[in-house]
Amino acid sequence: MDFFEITPNPTHTLLKLKNGFQMVIENNIIKITSNVIRLTSEQQLNNYDFKYSEPESCSINNIIIESPNFTKILNKIYSIINDGFKIKETPTTFNLKIGEYKEKGFNYLSDIGISYQGKDANGTIREIYRQSKHHNILISIKIKLSDNRIIQI
């Protein structure tokens, strides 16, 4: 009964799924499963499309990031590393430049002294994952995919 909130009424009992669970009916069998998919490796990111997804919550080194989005999370990771050369030396698919690079599509972080070319959600979540793992930054992100599944990293 840990999956439901139970509300008894005189004519019926309402069972409402608790947050994080979903009901799936397969071959006339009802299955209760978690709708939170936990990812523990970078390779698992390849199994999901993060296009049109949204971070619902995020904490970095146990500090909650208000109104998270992928760019905000990545910028926070970069600011924690706080060294453009270390960021650039981390294996990445991002186009990173030391110093201010003014070409279209680049973001400049003046406090760190790097410019990076933005990517789509798939590329950005991989960069977040790589940089946080490589630099031992504790990160927890809950992402709602376009199909309403929840990914927990």
Q: Which of 93, 147, 141 is nearest to 116 (CA)?
A: 93
91 plus 146 within the same structural domain? yes
Q: What distance in Å separates the CA atoms of residue 67 and residue 15, rounded to the nearest whole number?
A: 32
Q: How many structural domains are present in the chain?
A: 2
Letter for the amino acid at 131? Q
93 plus 109 within the same structural domain? yes
75 plus 44 within the same structural domain? yes
pLDDT in tens, 4-18: 677 777 776 666 666
Orientation angle between helical segments 121-134 and 70-81, nearest 10 degrees: 20
106 plus 120 within the same structural domain? yes
75 plus 111 within the same structural domain? yes
pTM comes to 0.77
50 plus 100 within the same structural domain? yes
15 plus 61 within the same structural domain? no
- Write out the residue range of the structural domain in which residue 134 sits: 36-152
27 plus 82 within the same structural domain? no
Do residues 56 and 143 touch, judged by C-beta distance below 8 A? Answer: yes
10 plus 48 within the same structural domain? no
Query: Digits of tens for pLDDT over the chain (153 positions)?
Result: 466 677 777 776 666 666 666 666 677 787 776 668 889 999 999 999 999 999 999 999 999 999 999 999 999 999 999 998 899 888 887 888 888 988 888 889 999 999 998 889 999 999 999 999 999 999 999 999 998 888 999
Give one DSSP letter per residue of 82-101, joined into a string: --HHHHHHS--SS-EEES--
